[in-house]
Structure 1
Amino acid sequence: MSLTKEDMIPKWKENRPASLALVLLCAFGTMFLWAKTDLAMRQARQVGRPEPLEHVISVEGTGKALGKPDIATVYFGVESRGADVASAQTKNTESMNALLGKMKALGISEDDIQTSSYNSYEDIEYTSSGRQPKGWVVSQQVTVKVRDVAKIASVLQTAGQNGATNISGPSFTIDDPSNLLAEAREKALKDAQEKAVSLAATLGVRLERVVGYSEYSGGGPVPYYDRAMSAGFGGGIEAPNIQPGQNEVSLNVSVTYKLVD
């Protein structure tokens, strides 16, 4: 028995239930694949992202701690002149070596003395007669760290007596501020907690636990005037009256609390 062309074409009208089921199956399959793809893309975009926090409050606190500095840093310069560079350098080296020798005699370690700059230039004076060379200038600058703050006035006086042509400083610092930082942090956390409790009471909510914390610090010297470092050392130049002051360490914290649902 041979098949005709009409026999090979599906007779959809004669089998409508099966045809409808096939169409619905294809539609559901397409929707399922689309949903799976969309879910996978959403999950990929959210990888590494923390779950959003709800029902939280954030407060900031500030803490400060004061401490006496234990290091003073000063800057000395020696400027020398000569007919040429070599002679100016020789004079400058002799003057600076003599000055540094006096610093070491005061107990300043060689490790705490550092050359910060060394310059030479020709001194030119311009007049109505034209360009007038005046010789050469050599200058050298050193940074001196004084670890015994009580000696700072004597150090400055000695520099002035022994060839320093410019003196600047002192700047006071604390070698290890970790204890002051810990004290400031404790005060800052207490301040933040008090603010959180007060805010929660005002809002009519209850604190559950801390879920976020950050901090940043900063500080600077605060004048302290209870006594002078020295009254005078003689030697033709009166020692300067130096106030070491106090250094302030401040810390700011930000604390986030989760609220009781």
Structure 2
Amino acid sequence: MSPRSLPPRSAPSRRADRRASSSGVATPSALSVIVVGALLVSGVAMSLPAFAQPQGGKAELRREAREEWLEEAEAAGDRLQKAIKAAGREAETLDARISKAQEADEALGAKLQLAQAAGSQPAPRPAPERPAREGRPAAEAPQCRGRLVVEGEGIETATPDVLRVSFGADARAEGPGEALAQASEAVKALLDAVLAAGVAKEDVSTTQVNLNPVYDRSERNAAPEIVAWEAGSSLAVTLKDVSKFGALATAATEAGATSISGVSFAVSDEKDRLEAARQAAVKAALARAELLAGAADARVGAILELSETGISMPGPRPMFARAAVAESAMADMPIAEGAQELRATVTATVELCQ
């Protein structure tokens, strides 16, 4: 019988064979693994006759030694089966990799054929153009190698529409308990008068309560002697209509207030005013940067850093400091709230471009 002629192998198969041979990686063979396992089992089996040789005239193989070696032979057979399964899995993985490589090779060959048929290679992708600034051609890319640090300030002017003031009431008595009782009654009358003047309850709070002894220091060499006790308390009031301050002060003094202190003004929308001042500060900083860069025949690039360096809000402006109040003078007491400035300052670092 003449040997059967083998069919010609395809080009991708030959390329895969060439890659496998050139990479030096041999395909694991299940037959080789079986041969190694068989040699292992046969080695165990060949060692059995050593126990079958006559020793001291006895020709029988000891039963215990035979059973022990038979167990080792079974274990060797199990290891052989595991090795055969592992070799099969590795072979399947390698076949899959070879198949993917063949597909990639065929795809590359198809692309090369298309490129050759077109007569030229694909044109490279053009790089995107950077937008040009005003007055500069698009082909001329700006060079930004310098830095410019500038400051800007924003100012918001507002007329205060909130007034804060403190009213105090004091009492004097021979004993501390009596002094506290009298002061408590005076403060209660003061609180009722403030609420009756139209101030909301949540806009009134107690800020101070005090009790102090009164000493007689008329004699130089004698020890000071307590002759009385003074007690007092203060109420902090927020008035949201500045024009009503005169009427409020009159009502408080008629109710027994002995002092007015801590008059100050505020703006109700202070947060919004500060935000507007910050925005104005940023615009002022960038405008200053443009001015300085233009004087140096340069341009302002990107903003590298921007930070707020400070804010300024007007503080309280005291008008009275623990002074006794004349009731007849408070009704016509003029109040000039003036204007307040809220300031914000920022520092900006920008690129300086030529």
One-letter amino acid of the counterpart of residue 344, structure 2: L
Q: 2:177 aligns with which of 86, 89, 92?
A: 86
Q: What are the superposed Cα offsets for residues 32-86 of structure 1, whole Å, 9 maximum, x if unpaired?
A: xxxxxxxxxxxxxxxxxxxxx9521110011111112221110111110111111
Provide the residue aligned with 2:338 in structure 1: 245
* 1:217 matched to 2:308: no
Q: Aligned equivalents of 1:74 and 1:192: distance in 2?
A: 38
Secondary structure of 1:220's counterpart equals coil
2:161 corresponds, among 55, 63, 70, to 70
In 2: Cα distance, 1:152 partner to 1:55 partner: 58
Deviation (angstroms), 1:207: 1.1
Secondary structure of 2:172's counterpart equals strand
Measure the CA separation in 2 of the matches of 1:75 and 1:243: 18
> In terms of mean alpha carbon deviation, does 236-245 or 247-256 score higher?
236-245
Q: CA deviation at 1:211?
A: 1.6
CA–CA separation in structure 2 for the residues paired with 1:67 and 1:134: 52
The Cα of 1:165 is off from its aligned counterpart by 1.2
Contact 1:156 1:239 in 2 (8 A): no
Corresponding residue number in structure 2 for 1:112 = 203
Tell me the distance in 1 between the aligned counterparts of 2:166 and 2:315.
18
Contact 1:221-1:245 at 8 Å conserved across structures: no
Give, as a single letter, the amino acid of the residue that structure 2 aligns with 1:57. L
Higher helix share: 2
Q: For residues 251 and 95 of structure 1, what CA distance do their matches in structure 2 show?
A: 44
Ranges in structure 2 where 5+ consecutive residues have no aligned partner: 1-143, 318-326
Work out whether residues 222 and 247 of structure 1, in 8 Å CA contact, stay in contact via their aligned partners in 2: no
Q: How does 1:116-131 map to 2 (within 5 A)?
A: 116-128=207-219, 130=222, 131=224
Shift of 1:193: 2.0
Q: Closer, same or farther in 2 for the Cα pair 1:113/1:71, shift >3 Å? A: same
RMSD (Å) for aligned C-alpha atoms: 2.3
**Residue 258 (structure 1) aligns with:** 351
Greater Rg by CA: 2
- TM-score (structure 2 length as normaliser): 0.52
Q: Against the structure 1 CA distance between its residues 221 and 67, is the aligned structure 2 distance closer, same or farther, given a 3 Å change threshold?
A: farther
* Counterpart check, 1:161 vs 2:254: yes
CA deviation after TM superposition for structure 1 residue 194, in Å? 2.1
Q: What are the equivalent positions in structure 2 for 1:1-261 lying under 5 Å apart? A: 55-128=146-219, 130=222, 131-215=224-308, 216-220=310-314, 236-237=328-329, 238-260=331-353
AA aligned to 1:133 is: I
2:149 alignment partner AA: S
**Partner in structure 2 of residue 11 of structure 1:** none
Cα deviation, 1:87-120, whole Å, max 9, x if unaligned, reads 1111111111111101000111221111111111
Structure having the larger proportion of residues in strand = 1
2:118 counterpart residue number: none
Tell me if the contact between 2:204 and 2:236 (Cα under 8 Å) persists in the aligned partners. yes
SS in 1 for 2:332: coil
Task: Judge which range, 209-218 or 121-130, deviates more.
Answer: 121-130
- Residue identity over aligned pairs, in percent, reads 27
